[in-house]
Amino acid sequence: MARRRATGSLPAVSPAARHALLFAAQFFAFGVVLPFLPAVLADGGLSPEEVGLVLAAGAAVRLVAGPLGGRLADALGRPPLVLAACAALSALAAAGYLVAAGLGAMLLVHVLLSAAMAPIVPLSDALAVAAARRHDFDYGRSRAAGSVAFILGSLAAGQAVAAAGTGAAVWLISAGLLASAGAALLLPRAAEAPTGRPGLAGLLGPLRLPALRWLLPVSALIQGSHALYYGFGTLHWQAAGLSPAVIGALWATGVVAEVALFVWGRGVVARLGPVGLCLVAAGAGAFRWGATALTTDPLLLFPLQVLHAASFAAQHLAAMAVLGRAVPANEAATAQTLHAALGVGAAMGLLTLGCGPLYAWAGGGAFWAMAGLCVLAVPAVLGLRGALRARPSPAGR
């Protein structure tokens, strides 16, 4: 027996660590995509207008491909396998940037990449939420690995691009996505549970659940309120005279606060519940954006950035809790991808589009509109509370 322990297999890796590895691998890739993909497209011969067209096409494709990927995962009853296939296809598609040139080729590569990548995060969330309930670990701590890896991916890509050009970013994206495929195959197995709902009925089936129907506008308003910050926050602070170092530190403060809630917030999440978290997110967002409209003083902006833990991370954890509680297990992947597409992606895209002219007209005062979105979310949160109280958890049954 002693010899078997000495020469046997490696110690088992916990389910929490496996999901943390999956989040870390995919968000490492996303940490390269977000800041450096526009530069990759520009180096492929695209003008600024063409870069915008390609990115917009990818965003539109993701809104459709995400729910389709989730539906396929539920229909087959093999979400980890579908996730691994999407990640591997994404890695292959990303490599296409190395050989593509011109608008047509770059558009084709980006559309393929966007379609394959769209289900990755929501499928990972669906699997992690279910596994956390099944194996009794903290979803937030596993998800925090993704936030940390996002920062590391951005830093690594910056150094690599400076040394070897934008092609290095492409290699890092592909490597992160390939690692995601491998991590998905290492996830603990769960019972297969095909839904049996064919076609469009299966794709839209989770929308019959009142809790999901209320969650969509809650997430759209609260998460969508970040559109101006993501798209124009840096420009606003630059115009106010803040240095790049200060602006970078402000962004980093928000991410660190987000990670802190993910890692140490399990008790807070348990006490507040999903409805309490949504109300905290809405209130924090209203205060954060209203104050950001009034000041560009770094001494005030840094504590405001700490509220990112509430306005973003608390709402994300609330959404995961609602989806884990209200959605049957055999529709979890479809529900997650619908929420990602309709509750976050579509809202963020439309609001980002509207924030351009709004910021051009109102400058920093445009943040008042973002605060208003958070206030408007409160009635929807109360509707969500009623939906969650109205019936027991299908997932629990």
pLDDT tens digit sequence for 44-87: 888 888 888 888 889 899 999 999 999 999 888 889 999 999 99
> Both tokens of residue 174?
């592909």
Confidence of residue 97 (pLDDT cuts 50, 70, 90): very high
Average pLDDT, the chain: 89
Question: What is the rounded CA–CA span in Å between residue 28 and residue 163?
Answer: 19
Question: Rounded CA gap, 137 and 16, in Å?
Answer: 6
% of the chain beyond a pLDDT of 70: 92
pLDDT digits (tens, 9 = 90+) for 237-270: 989 999 988 888 998 899 999 999 999 988 998 9
Token pair belonging to 82? 């579908």
Dump pLDDT digits (tens) for 330-341. Answer: 899 999 999 999
Domains of the chain: 14-191 (1.20.1250.20), 208-391 (1.20.1250.20)
Q: Angle at CA 253, nearest 5°, toward 249 and 258? A: 150
What pLDDT does 128 receive?
94
- The 3 state secondary structure assigned to 263-299 is HHCHHHHHHHHHHHHHHHHHHHHHHHHHHHHHCCCHH
Residue 11's pLDDT is what? 55
Confidence of residue 2 (pLDDT cuts 50, 70, 90): very low
Least confident stretch, 47-61, 198-212, 313-327: 198-212
Dist CA 158 CA 298 (whole Å): 25
pLDDT at position 200 over 80: no
Q: Is the pLDDT of residue 13 over 90?
A: no
List Cβ neighbours of 283 (8 Å cut-off, separation of 6 or more): 310, 374
Average pLDDT score over residue span 384-394? 77
Please answer whether residues 380 and 281 qualify as being in contact, where contact means their C-beta atoms are separated by less than 8 angstroms.
no
Write the DSSP string, 179-196.
HHHHHHHTSPP-------
**Residue 255 and residue 150 in contact, taking contact as beta carbons nearer than 8 Å:** yes
Provide the pLDDT for residue 391. Answer: 59
- pLDDT of 7 > 70? The answer is no
Both structure tokens of 275: 């409805």
Q: CA–CA separation, 47 vs 16, rounded Å?
A: 44
Taking only the tens place, the pLDDT of each residue in 125-184 is 999 999 998 888 999 999 999 999 999 998 898 899 889 988 999 999 999 999 999 999
Q: Average the pLDDT over 178-197 and give the result.
A: 77
- Three-class DSSP category at 396: coil
Residue 392, pLDDT score: 54
Measured in degrees and rounded to the nearest 5, phi and psi for residue 196 equal 80, 0
Cα–Cα distance measured from residue 92 to residue 90, given in angstroms and rounded to the nearest whole number:
5
Query: pLDDT class for 390, splitting at 50, 70, 90?
Result: confident
Residue holding tokens 């109300």? Answer: 279
Check residue 6 and give its pLDDT. Answer: 42
Which segments of 341-394 are extended strands (E)?
A: none
- What is the pLDDT averaged over residues 194-200? 52
Residues in Cβ contact with 166 at an 8 Å cutoff, skipping those fewer than 6 apart: 36, 39, 40, 43
Two tokens at 45?
């011969």
pTM of the predicted model as reported, rounded to 2 decimal places: 0.88
CA atoms of 271 and 253, how far apart (whole Å)? 25
Number of neighbours of residue 5 by Cβ within 10 angstroms:
9
Quickly list DSSP for 208-253: GSHHHHHHHHHHHHHHHTTHHHHHHHHHHHHHTT--HHHHHHHHHH
- Please count the other Cβ atoms lying within 10 Å of the Cβ belonging to residue 164: 11
